[in-house]
Amino acid sequence: QQGSMREVGLEDIATQLAYANKVVFVPGYGLATAQAQHAVRELADVLEKRGVTVKYGIHPVAGRMPGHMNVLLAEANVPYSSLYELEQINPEFSTTDVSVVIGANDVVNPDARDNPSSPIAGMPILEVDRSKSVVVLKRGQGKGFSGLENPLFFKPVTGMLYGDAKDTLTRLVQAVQHA
Ligand code: NAP
């Protein structure tokens, strides 16, 4: 694996988010295990109050069952109009200031696009690596469902923010409010 993982500080990310024009949240299985759907909605609320455009990129197989992310986000009253399917959101990443990957892994693995010998070659992915900045919220070095390494985590554009997703998002809400 080329490159190294870069850990970023919560305050730095809060500042990036607070002063962004457009932020895209990409939820995955870890959002479900952390039960972080309410916390992500709260973060969206404080950002939108500051004038930041917030969208959610929903991969068709994110989570562990069809429609998993839609169910969770609806439970937290995330407006349906903020949810974007893969084909809709992919063209938007190049104009996104910060993509926040929340407990997602396989659905943002660029090897599916870039490495023809990968077991997941050809699987459609959410192309977060085209954004100006990517922040990945996860607990540590855990793999996704596929068990594969994810080169996204080693790209210069990516910063890792470790911790349980609900806890990290809750702390980001407070930090953005003071930014
Ligand atoms: P994923 O690839 O399974 O990755 C989930 C990530 O969440 C892990 O890398 C894990 O890393 C992190 N995580 C776990 N608990 C967390 C917590 N409490 N807080 C923060 N992060 C946490 O998830 P995905 O990107 O959603 O991809 C779904 C996968 O499941 C695909 O491979 C898909 O094909 C497969 N699948 C989907 C369905 C479906 O119908 N949706 C059905 C069967 C299989 P850490 O351990 O480091 O935290």
Whole-angstrom Cα distance, residue 110 to residue 1? 13
CA 58–ligand 1 middle distance (angstroms):
13
* Ligand 1 contacts CB of residue 34 (under 6 A): yes
Q: Which atom of ligand 1 is nearest to the CA of 59?
A: 26
Of residues 126, 137, 33, 35, the one with CA closest to residue 83:
126
Would the pLDDT of 3 be above 80? no
Q: b or e along 61-97 (b: 16 or more beta carbons within 10 Å of the residue's beta carbon)?
A: bbbeeeebbbebbeeeebeeebbbebeebbebbeebb
Q: Give the chain's mean pLDDT.
A: 97
- CA dihedral (77, 34, 152, 129) in degrees, to 10, reads 10
Residues 6+ apart with CB under 8 A from 141: none
> Is 106 in the active site?
yes
The CB of 67 under 6 Å from ligand 1? The reply is no
Confidence band for 42, pLDDT divided at 50, 70 and 90: very high
Q: How confident is the model at residue 169 (pLDDT cuts 50, 70, 90)?
A: very high
Distance of alpha carbon 135 from alpha carbon 112, whole angstroms:
20
